[in-house]
Chain A
Amino acid sequence: MTRQQTHKLAVAVITIVAAIVVIPIILVIGVVFWNGLPALSWEFLTQPPTNGMREGGIMPAILGTVLLTFGTAIASFPLSIAAAIYLAEYAGDTRLTRWVRMAIVNLAGIPSIVYGLFGLGMFVLFFGFGTSIVAGALTLGILTMPVVISTAEEAILSVPQEFRTVSLSLGATKWQTIRHQVLPNAMPGIITGIILGLGRAAGETAPILFTVAAFYLPELPKSIFDQTMALPYHLYVISTQVPGMPLEIQYSTALVLLLIVLSLTLVATLVRTRMRRRREW
């Protein structure tokens, strides 16, 4: 075999293997759409469940997930972005910051059920928030912190060093430089990280299991200290805990959850490409 042929063969093999990666995601989305679309209707999206969840819609679960996602945003981002700014701009390389970095990496590796139990102990019981949206949002907030911190730090570090030097040379202070040069230019990356984190939070079941999710609660929450239904947990409940559950309702619920998570990812991608196109350096 000549070198040319070896090259072609290698490219072909790599292409095929790469294509295989796409198959699972197409299958998952395809199966869920195929089975879930028929039962999807306006009523399904806007009505509470009835008859032991075997009929009616999933509106309280959708609303709960939306509320939790917003709450997660509020809980996670100020802290995450402050941490990212600190690590990227101020921390340097000391023993302490190496520990902080290691903690963040490990935080990303903790199983989500452990977050759930931590949330139960910390927010539900110790802080006395009870099983509530606050407790759930805080738990999910901690869960999203590693991904938001690391993407935001990367975005901050990718801002060209010359902008910092020029800004400082014109008499700006370090904080002014961060505020007026670094953060605006890092924003696309930070926003991407935020939305990816939210996408993860919206789909998690275990962390909300003990902290916020209601098994069956057709009324809507009246305050942030109320419980709420949420899509991932609702899906788990109707798939395993309710006998005689119609399959198409399960698939439709999965479809709605999938659409929410996918649309968050899509928004992240759009924001990133749009803002990157506007960037001129």
Chain B
Amino acid sequence: MTQPIISIQNLFYTYADGTEALRDINLDVPPNEVFVLFGPARSGKSTLLRLLNRLSDLIEGAQRQGTILFNGGDVFDRRVNVSVLRRRISMVFAIPTPLPGSIYDNLTYGLRMAGLKDRTELDRRATQSLKQAALWDEVKDRLDASAFALSGGQKQRLCIARSLALEPDVILLDNPTSGLDPLSTATVEESLFELKDRYTIIMVPHSVQQAARVADRAAFLLDGELVETGTAGDMFVHPKDQRTEDYITGRFG
């Protein structure tokens, strides 16, 4: 295995109410692959995703132990600039949430907040990210239209494009197709294949089927513990752990 881009070591996470969300997670994520975190509801997938770019900072009173290395550096180090980290590891949420403003405003928001003012560069990044997210043809004539005027599937691809515009290293996708129809889901999934040449994608899937469709590598989480991790071929065809097999074959979940 190549040098991992993200390495999670002995990670424990407990919410303020005492709920143990993650217990002793050890996981390496190689670059330029689609890595899928799957498991039943409340197994800790989203929590883990939010820890990677420290959106977990917004949760008050939670306790964390262990480390997450990103390109070898601890993301929880005091000297880490969280803004820079979140531009390198960018998140797309389950519910497509455009910010108030135009499509263009949304695409360039992160860059403008990073201090980029050069109009040509902003235009270039906006165009490129729309193409990567397979949205360009549908919106190229109306970049100044409100982002709220888009359909659900378009909004989600806009949110993906908005993350891509930052040219991050890692894209976190938290169940990005949860509210989408099958056709939009297929479009989003297809765009993932194109993206992994340039980005590392870590995704919480909508279903085991989706996990099997998109994953290069997967990890199965259950009740905050990592049950098993491996390549998609191994995980979905010959799982080693009985619990993984039971979940994949639909015996519980």
Contact = CB atoms under 8 A, between A and B. Distances in A.
Contact of B146 (A165, A171, A280): A280
B80 interface: no
Interface in A135-181: 162-163, 165-173, 176, 180-181
B29 to A, nearest CB: 19
Given A162-B95, A176-B113, A281-B148, A170 B100 contact: no
B109 A280 contact: no
Contacts of A280: 100, 146, 148
A279 B95 CA distance: 19
Interface of B: 53, 55, 58, 60, 83-84, 86-87, 90-91, 93, 95, 97, 99-100, 109-110, 113-114, 146, 148, 162-163, 166
Ranked nearest first, the 10 interchain pairs of A and B with the lowest CB-CB distance are: A170-B110, A171-B87, A172-B113, A280-B148, A171-B83, A169-B91, A171-B86, A162-B97, A166-B97, A176-B113
Contacts of A172: 83, 109-110, 113
Which residue among A167, A169, A180 has the maximum number of chain B CB atoms within 10 Å of its CB? Answer: A169
A81 B66 CA distance: 41
21 contacts: A92-B60, A162-B93, A165-B58, A165-B97, A168-B55, A168-B58, A169-B53, A169-B91, A170-B86, A170-B87, A170-B109, A170-B163, A171-B86, A171-B87, A171-B110, A171-B166, A173-B113, A176-B113, A180-B113, A181-B100, A280-B148
Interface of A: 92, 162-163, 165-173, 176, 180-181, 184-185, 279-281
Nearest to B146: A280
Nearest to B55: A169
Contacts of A168: 55, 58, 86
Contacts of B114: 171
A172 B108 CA distance: 12
A173 B113 CA distance: 8
Which residue among B84, B87, B97 has the maximum number of chain A CB atoms within 10 Å of its CB? Answer: B97
A162 B100 CA distance: 11
A181 B110 CA distance: 12
Nearest to B53: A169
Contacts of A170: 86-87, 90, 109-110, 113, 162-163, 166
A92 B109 CA distance: 27
A242 B162 CA distance: 70
A80 B237 CA distance: 63
Contact of B99 (A167, A171, A279): A167
A184 B99 CA distance: 11
B86 A184 contact: no
A172 B105 CA distance: 14
Contacts of B91: 169
Contacts of B148: 280-281
Contacts of B87: 170-171
A163 B97 contact: yes
A181 B99 contact: yes
Which residue among A92, A167, A171, A181 has the maximum number of chain B CB atoms within 10 Å of its CB? Answer: A171
Contacts of B53: 169
A92 B58 CA distance: 12
A281 B100 contact: yes
Nearest to B91: A169
Nearest to B113: A172
A63 B60 CA distance: 52
B175 to A, nearest CB: 15
A62 B70 CA distance: 66
A168 B97 CA distance: 13
Which residue among A165, A172, A176 has the maximum number of chain B CB atoms within 10 Å of its CB? Answer: A172
Nearest to A280: B148
Nearest to A173: B83
Contact of B84 (A171, A176, A181, A185): A171
A183 to B, nearest CB: 12
Nearest to B57: A168
Nearest to A159: B100
A163 B99 contact: yes
Which residue among B58, B99, B162 has the maximum number of chain A CB atoms within 10 Å of its CB? Answer: B99
Given A168-B55, A169-B90, A172-B113, 10 more contacts: A92-B60, A162-B97, A163-B97, A167-B113, A168-B86, A170-B113, A171-B110, A171-B114, A180-B113, A280-B148
A169 B95 CA distance: 14
Contacts of B84: 171
B185 to A, nearest CB: 21
B168 to A, nearest CB: 9
A281 B83 CA distance: 26
A132 to B, nearest CB: 43
Contacts of B113: 167, 170-173, 176, 180
A185 B58 contact: no
A209 B83 CA distance: 53
B132 to A, nearest CB: 16
